[in-house]
Chain A
Amino acid sequence: MQRNLLTDITLNDVARLRIDRLRMNMLHAKASLCSQRALLYTESFKQTENEPYIVRKAKAFAHTLDHMPIFIEEDSLIFGNMASKNFAAPIYPEYSMDWLVDEIDTFSLRKGDVFEVDEKVKADLLSISDFWLGNTHKDEVGRNLTDEIRLASKTGALHLGGISMSGDGHIVPDYPSLLSRGFRWYIDEAKRKLEQNFNDQQRYFYQAIIISLEAALRWIKRYGELAKQISLEKSGQRKVELQNMSKMAMTLMEQPASGFMECVQATYLVHILQLIESNGHSFCFGRFDQYAYPYYIKDIKHGKMNESYALEIITHFFLMANSTNKIRPNGHTKFSQGYPMYSNLMIGGLTPQGKDATNSLSYLCIDAMNLTALKEPNFSMRYHKDTPLELLELAAKLIRTGTGMPALFNDAVAIRGLMDLGIPMEDARDYCAIGCVETGVAGKYGHRATGMTYCNWGKLMELLVNNGVDPKTNIQLISINGQKGNEIAYKNYKELWQGWKKILKYYTDLAVESDAICDRSLIKYDASPLASCFIQDAFELGKTLKEGGCKYDIISQSNIGPAVVGNSLYSIKKLVFDEGKLSFTQLKEAINDNWQGIESAKIHKMIRHLPKFGNDIDEVDEIVAHVFQSYLDLLPFYKTQRSGKGPTISRYTMSTSNITSYVPNGLEVGATPDGRFAYQPLNEGCSPTQGTDTHGPTAVLKSVSKLPNHQVAAGQLLNMRFTPSSLSKDEDLSKFIDLLKTSIELNIYHNQFNIVDTKTLREAQKNPHLYTDLLVRVAGYCAQFVSLMPEAQEAIIARSEHGQ
């Protein structure tokens, strides 16, 4: 079914039909594995044994670009493939190999994120595994992990995430510079640098840049040849397109981009090149509407292109972004479900000079996203008090279609957060999302705005109750009262709070240590000359990003479950210490009982009826804010691996971007004092715990507004759900926009909205406690779906179906 355009731009039938075909191609592409990169990297590595590692990586990258199969998608105006098929995931054996061998027969049997693996690919991968096993990044990390970190991981308190086995990603190239220079400029400059007085390591870096970018230019020309060949078999419009494509590819990035098509094509190709070079994720497009605008407006003014054609180009670009894929080990997949690439693209916001940055491309991007409605790019929008109402309306209309996009970022809070880290105002105003809600400055941030080591705060709460003993494994890495074993008697709330701080510091120290172990290994294994040279000031300093080449080195971990912790502390404070309704021992017994017995159920009732975060009740919201602050207070004392080695700012900050980790993290944690049942999910980001916010969206926003949001400078994740019918009328949509405007005033960092379908409503009926934040329009008002009687729920489900 075709989607209606949201703007008044028109696309002719030919354009619409081929967008639909291309879209269906991407939508139905089956995830698979591709062995090409792995084979070519192995082949090259075998021939470069004694050379510097970064040069070996560059040569393997070049060898791959020269020999990998390339194709041009039928119908597409944009070319560039990272693997032999759409949605096939390449393999990066230099990062990790063991899990591939172990899991190769089970990729196709997974419950989610299934990958097809054909026998040839299987054989290919097994044939090279011996060469790599023991010589990968993961092996190096494994050799350096301490017993404490291993045990902490075993309890589920820490999760080493992608950085222990993958590249880093989480980066936005300096697109404005690279588009205005072309690759050739970097090659020429690198050659000049080689004539200057640099040390060996720096010389290797410049050599690697030359090797990588020369190969990239040859690779683009391969598409030029291919387009020419295909054009011979075509006729009409497609023939002309392919001829133009060929002509463009033969010189693309040999010089600055010359028009909008070259700009978009080069942007996409840099993305693909980064994905071939390293297997990180969250390689992002940054503020596309800003850096592409000069190219766009020039072509429009000179009559080379109209708005409709620009929309078509952007739409094809967005569709092609869905051809990429990444495979992760099963254990890691649970933390990031749904084949995510997190290739964020951002529109709107302020200019570095503080003016509204909205332009016609901002609007076109919304409509392109509306036409594609696929998961990539991960589409975000910045907004502030002077954002044009038209743009907010268009964004709200896109949100209403149920794409969940754009995610909305509040400039005032994000900019203030970055400036507090020491980033100058003009750069802070030029921030963008990197991945999900992580924010940073495009082209100036090194890898990893967030998502270093994951720390499971739900588990820390369980440890707090048990004197540091993990009930599941009996591992005790730290004792709160100095004694072995899980016996602990807190005399008052102050003691409990001190216990929390002790546990939190111990595990955060461990997490920072594990960050460092991974980071040190990545200096070698994730030395990425292509990604590095497009980030300031790596090129000037002659250092890769991991060596300290970036201007701003601001990283953060991922902490999961602050609302669970805050609500738990509040429950204990209120029932045990303030009101004396039960003893700590009674509470602990009920927790150990998972609230099952009758006495435990009575205690559960008391807790259920206590205020919870997300309902705009100060006394509990304040405790959640304290929990945030307890972590923020630790951060100034931690250093990154690159501190003093190049970046003008090197430090830790905080983020609540925690992808789907709140689900597997919950599975590690027994019942908690907030009334949560054992193994249930933790709360997501800074959102209230599922099932505990009962006062509607304004109350959620008010609660979140009391957190130290701007200090969570790598992004504060808030997810809210509405039903389609609560936004379907324009009058409701305008009130939704008023809600967004109020969010600005309330210091909300970020909002994203799920507009849910019947399937979810059915799920909500089955598991109501997980869906209390689900809003539906009842008669004259919106209500929580699960608070309605079953009959009313049925009636609403029936009504939603009518709208389809």
Chain B
Amino acid sequence: MVNSITGLISNIQRYSLHDGPGIRTTVFMMGCPLRCAWCSNPEALSIEKQLMIFDQKCTLCGECLIVEPEAISLDGGLRVDRALIKDIESLAHCCPYDVFEIIGNEMTVDELVDECMKDEPFYRNSGGGVTFCGGDPIVQADFLVEVTKSLKNRGIHVTLDTSGGLPWDQWDKLASAVDLILYDLKLHDEKRHIEYTQAGNSLIFENLDHLAKLGKEIIVRMILVPGVSDDPKDIELRCKRLRQSKANVSLIELLPYHTLGKGKYTRLGMPYPLGRNNEKDKVNVEEIIQIIESIGFKVYYRSP
């Protein structure tokens, strides 16, 4: 039987090295319950297809004026009023120079599984597998449960990289099906969590308790955004809460903040939410590592 459920995928990255053990294929799923100010994949936030505009490729040939006369002006360079675009797909189709690119590829379960299976020899030799990330894959949990079942039947290790920001009953089956969970803990202070992710964190911590009951192996990830999420006190509280949950945490990974995704905001017509460029501000990694270790967790800092 052909499995007709489809998922919306922003990108598939083969030879991924840092999203779980071994050589992996990382599947970037679209849709996310959070809006983190430092997000480096803004194209995957929405569950809708997105339009990226590469204006440097524009030759002002005028082909797009035929399909989108209202939305586009070429006087003094390419100007696009996104609100007036009637159909992003036909716009992307009309441009000979690929100025307009659609993000979001609909794939069936079988198509995605086939794509993931292409690197099976590499997974086998490296202890690798497939990682779902995004966005947040739990937004498309039903689709991924099917994909995971199929991958597991083929002996593939599956990792879920999630913010945990949706009610447990929406993704419990997915959590049960995968082998490993990468779980983001961004801030303990709920006010600040709302300020920086536009969502509260109580659900995220509650879901930790569910995961603990499941006994599933978890690698907790904390991104160190200078002045935002690198406060040692907050990290200490996160770790203590983590301890309290009795979740099966094998490692805490500290990830440095980077601005590599900044350009994508421009191409998507979105403002970059973190106003100040605090990328270069110093983070006291040593102290943070000490705190985490003192609470009894193994910690790894993935230096840039």
Chain B: which residue is nearest A699 at the CB level? Answer: B14
Chain A: which residue is nearest B260 at the CB level? Answer: A792
Interface size on A, residues (CB 8 A): 39
Interface centre among A696, A789, A799 (most CB of B within 10 A): A789
Nearest Cβ on chain B to A793's Cβ, whole angstroms: 9
Q: Does A601 contact B (CB under 8 A)?
A: yes
Of B114-122, B206-214, B286-294, the one with at least 4 CB within 8 A of chain A: B114-122
Nearest Cβ on chain A to B63's Cβ, whole angstroms: 7
Q: How far is the CA of A726 from the CA of B17 in the complex (A)?
A: 9
Contact of B260 among A702, A741, A791 (CB under 8 A): A791
Q: Which chain A positions have C-beta within 8 A of B90?
A: none
Interface centre among B26, B61, B121 (most CB of A within 10 A): B121
Tell me which residues from 5 to 46 in chain B have a Cβ below 8 Å from any Cβ of chain A: 13-19, 22-23, 26, 40
Asked if A791 and B259 make an inter-chain contact with CB atoms under 8 angstroms apart, the answer reads: yes
Q: Does B267 contact A (CB under 8 A)?
A: yes
With A696-B14, A782-B15, A783-B13: A739-B122 Cβ-Cβ less than 8 Å = yes
Q: Which chain B positions have C-beta within 8 A of A796?
A: 260
Interface size on B, residues (CB 8 A): 37
Chain A: which residue is nearest B303 at the CB level? Answer: A729
Nearest Cβ on chain B to A787's Cβ, whole angstroms: 10
Q: Which chain A positions have C-beta within 8 A of B263?
A: 788-792
Q: Does A746 contact B (CB under 8 A)?
A: yes
Nearest Cβ on chain B to A742's Cβ, whole angstroms: 5
Asked if B19 and A780 make an inter-chain contact with CB atoms under 8 angstroms apart, the answer reads: yes
Q: Does B264 contact A (CB under 8 A)?
A: yes
Q: Which chain B positions have C-beta within 8 A of A598?
A: 61, 63, 96
Chain A: which residue is nearest B52 at the CB level? Answer: A789
Asked if B14 and A779 make an inter-chain contact with CB atoms under 8 angstroms apart, the answer reads: no
Asked if B121 and A739 make an inter-chain contact with CB atoms under 8 angstroms apart, the answer reads: no
Asked if A698 and B122 make an inter-chain contact with CB atoms under 8 angstroms apart, the answer reads: yes
Binary contact readout A590-629 vs B (1 if CB under 8 angstroms, 0 otherwise): 0000000010011011001000000010000000000000
With A791-B263, A792-B261: A742-B97 Cβ-Cβ less than 8 Å = no
Q: Which chain A positions have C-beta within 8 A of B119?
A: 698, 702
Asked if B260 and A781 make an inter-chain contact with CB atoms under 8 angstroms apart, the answer reads: no
Asked if A601 and B121 make an inter-chain contact with CB atoms under 8 angstroms apart, the answer reads: no
Q: Which chain B positions have C-beta within 8 A of A783?
A: 13
Nearest Cβ on chain B to A438's Cβ, whole angstroms: 28
Q: Which chain A positions have C-beta within 8 A of B4?
A: none
Asked if A738 and B96 make an inter-chain contact with CB atoms under 8 angstroms apart, the answer reads: no
Asked if A746 and B121 make an inter-chain contact with CB atoms under 8 angstroms apart, the answer reads: yes
Binary contact readout B125-154 vs A (1 if CB under 8 angstroms, 0 otherwise): 110100000000000000000000000000
Q: Which chain B positions have C-beta within 8 A of A799?
A: 304
Asked if B22 and A735 make an inter-chain contact with CB atoms under 8 angstroms apart, the answer reads: yes
Nearest Cβ on chain A to B62's Cβ, whole angstroms: 9
Chain A: which residue is nearest B263 at the CB level? Answer: A789
Q: How far is the CA of A604 from the CA of B302 in the complex (A)?
A: 42
With A791-B263, A796-B260: A781-B18 Cβ-Cβ less than 8 Å = yes
Contact of B16 among A731, A782, A791 (CB under 8 A): A782
Contact of A605 among B98, B118, B260 (CB under 8 A): B98
Asked if B98 and A781 make an inter-chain contact with CB atoms under 8 angstroms apart, the answer reads: no
Interface centre among A742, A775, A782, A790 (most CB of B within 10 A): A742
Asked if B122 and A742 make an inter-chain contact with CB atoms under 8 angstroms apart, the answer reads: yes
Asked if B17 and A789 make an inter-chain contact with CB atoms under 8 angstroms apart, the answer reads: no
Q: Does A721 contact B (CB under 8 A)?
A: no
With A601-B96, A738-B126, A799-B304: A777-B258 Cβ-Cβ less than 8 Å = no
Chain B: which residue is nearest A738 at the CB level? Answer: B126
Q: How far is the CA of A726 from the CA of B98 in the complex (A)?
A: 29
Tell me which residues from 768 to 804 in chain A have a Cβ below 8 Å from any Cβ of chain B: 775, 777-783, 788-792, 795-796, 799
Q: Does B262 contact A (CB under 8 A)?
A: yes
Chain B: which residue is nearest A726 at the CB level? Answer: B17
Asked if B118 and A781 make an inter-chain contact with CB atoms under 8 angstroms apart, the answer reads: no
Q: Which chain A positions have C-beta within 8 A of B258?
A: 779, 795
With A605-B96, A792-B261: A735-B255 Cβ-Cβ less than 8 Å = no
Nearest Cβ on chain A to B184's Cβ, whole angstroms: 12
Q: How far is the CA of A695 from the CA of B261 in the complex (A)?
A: 20
Chain A: which residue is nearest B300 at the CB level? Answer: A731
Asked if B121 and A745 make an inter-chain contact with CB atoms under 8 angstroms apart, the answer reads: yes
Q: Which chain A positions have C-beta within 8 A of B96?
A: 598, 601-602, 604-605
Q: How far is the CA of A668 from the CA of B131 in the complex (A)?
A: 46
Asked if B17 and A777 make an inter-chain contact with CB atoms under 8 angstroms apart, the answer reads: yes
Q: How far is the CA of A683 from the CA of B263 in the complex (A)?
A: 31
Asked if B260 and A795 make an inter-chain contact with CB atoms under 8 angstroms apart, the answer reads: yes
Binary contact readout A743-783 vs B (1 if CB under 8 angstroms, 0 otherwise): 00110000000000000000000000000000101111111
Q: Which chain B positions have C-beta within 8 A of A724?
A: none
Q: Which chain A positions have C-beta within 8 A of B124?
A: 742
Nearest Cβ on chain B to A321's Cβ, whole angstroms: 35
Nearest Cβ on chain A to B118's Cβ, whole angstroms: 5
Q: Which chain A positions have C-beta within 8 A of B261?
A: 792
Asked if A791 and B22 make an inter-chain contact with CB atoms under 8 angstroms apart, the answer reads: no
Known: A746-B121, A789-B260. 8 other contacts (CB 8 A): A731-B17, A738-B122, A739-B122, A778-B260, A782-B15, A788-B260, A788-B263, A789-B264
Q: Which residues of A contact B (CB under 8 A)?
A: 598, 601-602, 604-605, 608, 616, 695-699, 702, 726, 731-732, 735, 738-739, 741-742, 745-746, 775, 777-783, 788-792, 795-796, 799
Sample (24) of A-B pairs whose CB atoms are under 8 Å apart: A601-B97, A604-B96, A695-B14, A696-B13, A698-B118, A698-B119, A698-B122, A699-B14, A702-B119, A735-B23, A738-B22, A739-B23, A739-B126, A742-B124, A742-B125, A775-B15, A779-B255, A780-B16, A781-B26, A782-B16, A783-B13, A788-B260, A788-B263, A790-B263
Q: Which residues of B contact A (CB under 8 A)?
A: 13-19, 22-23, 26, 40, 61, 63, 95-98, 118-119, 121-122, 124-126, 128, 255, 258-264, 266-267, 302, 304
